[in-house]
Amino acid sequence: MSQASVLAAARSEKRTLLTEVESKALLKEAGVPVVDTRLARTREEAAAIAKEIGYPVALKVVSPDIAHKSDIGGVKLGLRTEKQTAKAFDDIMKAVQARQPNARVHGVAVQKMARPGVEVIVGLSKDAQFGPVVMFGLGGIFVEVLKDVSFRIVPLLRRDAREMIREIKGFPVLQGIRGQEAVDIAALEDILLKVSELAERHPEIKELDLNPILAYKDGAVAVDARVVLEGETPS
């Protein structure tokens, strides 16, 4: 699934919200590391994909009409067998039917559970005066409660990405505290630069959220992704 085909499909269906599978395809082609995520349209497909990519896996409903999948029971984590995976597919479909019966459902996204890491978040939004703006912060309570984030206007230089990461109050967490390993700061800088480049190449992207990104001592990977397009392609 190429960036061109993802954007063309959304335009043809007059959609502005890309599915998680589409969002990750867009980001992967842009060079942003994402967890391998595949679309399953049936319980049998879900079980077969899970077996191929290896357990444990996570299942998430894929729908252009559902932005917050967890809120309606559209996410199942830590599935370790074919039986669990097939049942989770059925449970997600029942939950969506009960909570949001008019939503268009493409199936479920099957992805391998990522190993634990330090959660960070990268976002993109548009400021009415300055245009695309990239955001960085730690995940969890750091972003939800403390609003410990930094911003820069697109396009970003390596220097900007370096400063964004180091100026948040939680930066010592990334350096490693209380025996924890330091994470790969250069990998996070690369992701910020790739998101900035993507925003430059595709002005039709209105919003983008990579939340969470799991940072490790040897890289980083986006576990969840959401992309929103402009209603009309800017000139």
Separation between Cα atoms, residue 162 and residue 219, nearest integer Å:
16
219 phi-psi bin (left φ>0, alpha ψ -120 to 50, beta other): left
Digits of tens for pLDDT over the chain (235 positions)? Answer: 788 888 888 888 888 989 889 999 999 999 999 999 999 999 999 999 999 999 999 999 998 888 788 889 999 999 999 999 999 999 999 999 999 999 989 999 999 999 999 999 999 999 999 999 999 999 876 676 678 899 999 999 999 999 999 999 999 999 998 778 899 999 999 999 999 999 999 999 999 999 999 999 999 999 999 999 998 644 4
DSSP string, 159-170: HHHHHHHHTSTT
Q: Which residues contact 123 (CB under 8 A, 6 or more apart)?
A: 134, 135, 136, 207, 208, 209, 210, 211
pTM of the model: 0.88
Give, for 144, the enclosing helix (H) or strand (E): helix 141-144
b/e per residue 209-231 (b: at least 16 CB within 10 A):
bbbbbbbbeeebbbbbbbbbbee
Closest CA to 19 of 66, 74, 53: 66
